[in-house]
């Protein structure tokens, strides 16, 4: 069994193209022995965002703090806030932007595909 506190896991800046003001705390990954899923805490600074991206992994997201906008592949922009849950399906384009004045925090899980560690995702072909 593994017990960690999120504050003991460093927030790592994500600098991939299209991301800004984005940090990830990789709470539980394959490095910890996770066999099927990774657990991450994502933090987006005010004005920051993810890229408009997709990947083969589904992922479950739960918003803990802050407020923002979810952009979908259908072109919609939906408000997200603390207490919202989101399920982007495999290869579904999505983007999250922080539109508030404090850090937008969300828990994000991804399945561990063969050879993946839970820090990255697998491109759609």
In a domain, 63, yes or no: yes
The 3-class secondary structure across the chain, one letter per residue, is: CCCCCHHHCCCEECCCCCCEEEEEEEEECHHHCCCCEEEEEEEEEEEEECCCECCCCCCEEEEEECEEEEEECCCCEEEEECCCEECCCCCCCEEEEECCCCCEEEEEEEECCCCCCCCCCCCCC
In a domain, 90, yes or no: yes
Domain of residue 14: give its range.
8-111
Number of domains in the chain: 1
CATH number for the domain harbouring residue 41:
2.60.120.10
pTM (two decimals): 0.94
pLDDT of residue 65: 98
CB 34 within 8 A of CB 66: no
pLDDT truncated to tens, each residue of the chain (125 aa)?
999 999 999 999 999 999 999 999 999 999 999 999 999 999 999 999 999 999 999 999 999 999 999 999 999 999 999 999 999 999 999 999 999 999 999 999 999 999 999 999 999 98
């Amino acid at each position: 069994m593994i017990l960690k506190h999120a504050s003991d896991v460093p927030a790592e800046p994500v600098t991939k193209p299209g991301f800004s003001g984005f940090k990830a705390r990789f709470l539980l990954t394959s490095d910890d022995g996770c066999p099927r899923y990774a657990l991450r805490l994502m933090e987006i600074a005010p004005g920051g965002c993810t890229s408009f991206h997709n990947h083969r992994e589904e992922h479950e997201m739960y918003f803990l703090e802050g407020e923002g906008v979810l952009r979908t592949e259908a072109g919609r922009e939906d408000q997200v806030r603390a207490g919202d849950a989101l399920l982007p399906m495999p290869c579904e384009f999505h983007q999250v932007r922080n539109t508030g004045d404090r850090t937008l925090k969300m828990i994000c899980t991804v399945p561990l595909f063969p050879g993946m560690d839970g820090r990255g995702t697998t491109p759609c072909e």
